[in-house]
Amino acid sequence: MSVALIRPLVVRTVAVSDPDDLLARLPDAAPYAWIRHGEGLVGWGEAARAAVPAGPGRFDWARGWLSSLFAGALIEDEVGVPGSGPVAFGSFTFDGHAPGTVLVVPRVVLARRDGRAWLTTIGDSAFDLFSPPREPGRIRYADGSLTAAQWEHRVARAVRRIKDGMLDKVVLARDLTAVAERDIDPRVLLDRLAERYPECYTFSVDGLVGATPELLVRHTGQAVESLVLAGTTARGGGPADDAARGAALYASEKDRHEHAYAVASVREALAPLCSTLNVPDEPELLVLPNVQHLASRVTGRLSDGASVLDVVAAMHPTAAVGGTPTGAAIGVIRELEGMDRGGYAGPVGWIDSRGDGEWGIALRCAYVSGRRARLFAGCGIMAESDPAAELAEAQAKLRVMRYALEG
C-alpha cells in the first residue's frame, strides 16, 4: 500500500464559461477523463493518490481513505452539484486479489454538464503548459498472452466446463499488444474515442484509456442507475444486414439467456440497497458503430446513505464481465485466461466528496505506457458458444482501441 497526498486539501470550485471541448483543454500531462456526449469531467495533476491494498476489504478501505481525506479538506464550492468540489478518479482491478487498484484526486478538474461548467483547483495549482496532441505513428501488433488459436482452445474448454454443469456462463478475455513509432499520447486516443463513440463513456485513469458502453452505476443523491449489457453481434454490411443481425441477436436464445444472467446479478446486488428498484421485463438493442448489444437500464432509489463506492462494491463483478455463478466463473477465468486482467473489466470512474459519482466497467480499453499499449476484449461463453464465433466477436471489440491508435 502506498499513499501520497497534500494535507489538508484546500479546494476551490468556481463557475466558468462553457469550455466547449473538455478534452481540448487537457495539457501535456497524464490525463484523467470521464466524458459522454461532450459532457463530464477532465483532470490533471495529483493532489492525492492511494494505491488501494488488494483483498476483500478494498472498497471499504477506499471509502475510508476518501472519507478521511475529504473530511479534512477546506472546501469552497460555489457550484454544489455532483462532480463539483474535490473529485477522485479511480480504477479497480477486476480480480480483488490482484494489486493495481488506484485512486487519484487531480489538482485541477474542469467539468461541464446540463448547461453549467465549473473549475476545481486544489492548493496553488499552476496550470500545466499545453502542447498539441502527438500522433503515435505506425502501429505494430502482436499476440498478447495467448495466440488466437490458443484462445479458441480455452473457449472450447470453458464450454465443456459449462456442459458438465460446473457453471452457467463465464466471460473469457484476450489481450493484444501494440507498439507505436512514438510515445502514445492518451489525448489522441480520447479525442478519437469520444468523437466516434459518443454514446459510450470515454475514460482515462492512470494509463487505462477506453470507451465503455457499460454504466455500472450512476449515483446522484439517493437515485441510482445501471446499464446492463450482455449479448453482442457485429454491425452489418448495410441497413438490411444490420437490421437482420439485430433481429437475430434479439431472438437468440443463447444471447437472451446470457443477458438474463447479467440482469439477475445486478438485481440481486442492488435489491438489498434500494427501497425501490425498476428492472425492465425485456431488453432493448443498443447500436454502436462497431457492435450491437442487448441492453437493460435498471433504476432505483437507495434506502440509506450509501456512497457510489458502496454500490460498486455490491455490484462487482457482474455476470456481464465475470459469469454465473460468480465464484465458479472467477475460478475458470483464473484457470483458462492465462493473464492478469489488471483494471480491464473492473470498475472505473469518479466519486466526489458527497458520495455521488459515475462508474463504468472498463471495457473497450487499453493500458498505455510510452510507446506500448495492451488492448483487451472479452466474450460471454455459454454452453452454445462456438469458439470461432467468439473469437470473431472479440476481434470486433478490439477494433475500438485499434481505431483509437490508428485513426
Domains recognised in the chain with CATH numbers: 2-125+139-406 (3.60.120.10)
**C-beta of residue 216 within 8 angstroms of C-beta of residue 78:** no
| pLDDT value for 304 | 82
For residue 364, CA distances in Å to 202, 320, 374 come to 10, 14, 11
Active-site residue, 214 included: yes
State the catalytic residue, choosing from 169, 337, 358, 397: 169
Active site residue 169: yes
In this prediction, residue 130 carries a pLDDT of 75
- Cell numbers of 233, please? 453481434
The helix or strand, by DSSP H or E, that contains position 154, with its residue range, turns out to be helix 148-163
Sign of CA dihedral 262, 194, 344, 155: positive
Look-up: residue for cell 477522485? Answer: 88
Q: Looking at residue 91, what is its pLDDT?
A: 98
Task: Residue 165: count other Cβ atoms within 10 Å of its Cβ.
Answer: 8
Query: Given this model, what pLDDT does residue 29 score?
Result: 82
User: Given this model, what pLDDT does residue 1 score?
Assistant: 53
- pLDDT score, position 340: 95
Which residue among 46, 76, 135, 214 is the active-site one?
214
What confidence score (pLDDT) does residue 28 get? 83
β 357-361/215-220 pair status? antiparallel
Strands 139-143 and 116-122: unpaired
Computed over its alpha carbons, how large is the radius of gyration of the chain? 20
Instruction: Report how far residue 138's alpha carbon sits from residue 407's, in angstroms, rounded to the nearest whole number.
Output: 11
Per-residue pLDDT, 127: 65
Average pLDDT across each block of 10 residues of the chain; the chain has 407 residues. List them in order. 67 96 91 97 96 96 96 96 98 97 97 97 76 94 97 98 96 98 98 96 98 95 93 91 95 92 91 94 92 94 90 93 94 96 98 97 97 97 96 94 97
User: What gap in Å lies between CA 262 and CA 321, rounded to an integer?
Assistant: 9
Spatial contact of 128 and 43, defined as CB atoms under 8 Å apart: no
The one-letter code for the residue type at 229 is L
String of DSSP letters for 196-211:
H-TTSEEEEETTEEEE
